[in-house]
Amino acid sequence: MLTVRGADLVWTGSAEVPGGSVAVGPDGLVAAAPVGGEVLDASGCVVTPGLVNAHHHLLQTAFRTLPATRGVPMRDWLPRMSAAYDAVGLDDEVAHAAAAAGLAEALLCGVTTVADHHLTWPAATGDGTGIARAVATAAGELGARLVFVRGSARDDPQTAAASADAIAGMLAGDPTGMVQVAVGPAGVHSDAPETFALLGEVAAKHGLRRRTQSNEQVDVEVAAERFGRRPLDLLDEWGWLAPDVTLAHLCGVTAAEIERVAAAGVSATHAPGCDLPMGWGVAPMAALADAGVAVGLGTSGGGSNDAGHLLADARLALQVAPLAGRPVSAREVLSWATAGSAAGLGRPELGRLLPGCAADLACWDVTGVADAGVADPLAGLLWAAPGRRPRHVVVAGRVVVRDGELVGRPEREVAGDLRALLNRRA
């Protein structure tokens, strides 16, 4: 049991409560009234729901700022990243160290749930359960929520489906809600219709969400070259425009395609911190939201973004929105980074601080010079200092960041483990 008390402002996702508090029951859910237990001091803070990173590639945390991988066409970027993976050698140890660093970074940036779209599966890793277990172990050590997406990037369709089935059998159905499994081909530029079909069968068998990437630069190009079609035409034909599907990126979409996505009940994930600096496109997220699409935010991976700071990417989404349709408010973008992302994961209990919802929250200190003179402290989280760290982070009622420090593992230990591993393998 826990009470977060003394905040300047609590934003529940739907209301703003000056001087509010948040009560957490023994079940790790937000309670309607104080329940006793520990008191967490949030004085001088704005409290928000924990951020939900709806699209990450945690493995890429180990491969940031590599030479010749910035501002290049995706056709060039993909093989360069693959060569870097091969040089290090991907196995359970690398997967754990990279995920630990990425998840530690996420928690220290106020992100309480991360969807990890894992796409690299060397033959030596077998059915992939070792990699999935390594990533889930890293999340458990730190106290983060994890959505592990068994992805595919040119994998043999039968092998990918068997692996997804094994991973779902091992991890799916976690009663605590701390680990969730989904399936997701990289996109029509990468995977065959059979891969989409077989992974869809695994999803139906285990009740999993489906995810893929669509309408980035290379996706549109390859769909035209190989099939003479648009990516969304193919996804529709292959049964992947449906309410249980989330599409990441969606940069090059037309007005008609926006209406098509909305009519299908598909959700969307914006990754501006990846797509903009790489030159891969700008997603018209306001237009998607206006059409009724549930919009979320993700960072994508360290190989294209270099950071897992979702609040900073929320600011970028705020800044670029007028160039992609219309201006958006800080509150709208914060809703994308919380409840909107959670909707795409099929998790309505996340991203809100309402009774019965998961007690995942971040306490953002607004007493520093960056917030001096800020008239609207909630908007100031994005406009004034998007690189900030939260003072405290709570996941499922458990304090996982206290006074800016990780509770589960020392930050320096997590970073040191990854550095040492990469140095050995180099």
Domain ranges of the chain: 2-49+352-406, 51-344
Mean pLDDT of 188-193: 95
Determine the 3-state secondary structure of 142 from DSSP. helix
Q: What is the pLDDT of residues 219-244, one digit of tens each?
A: 999 999 999 999 999 999 999 999 99
Helix (H) or strand (E) holding 161: helix 157-171
Q: pLDDT band for position 254 (50/70/90)?
A: very high
**CA-angle at 63, arms to 62 and 68, nearest 5°:** 170
Topology of 51-344 in CATH? TIM Barrel (3.20.20)
Q: Is 403 exposed, middle or buried (0-12, 13-18, 19+ CB in 10 A)?
A: exposed
pLDDT tens readout for residues 20-67: 999 999 999 999 998 889 999 999 999 999 999 999 999 999 999 999
Q: In angstroms, what CA-CA distances link 204 with 51, 177, 207, 245?
A: 28, 19, 5, 12
Fold of the CATH domain 2-49+352-406: Urease, subunit C; domain 1 (2.30.40)
Q: Are 261 and 241 in contact (CB under 8 A)?
A: yes
Instruction: Please state the length of the chain.
Output: 426
pLDDT one-digit tens code per residue, 89-107: 999 999 999 999 999 999 9
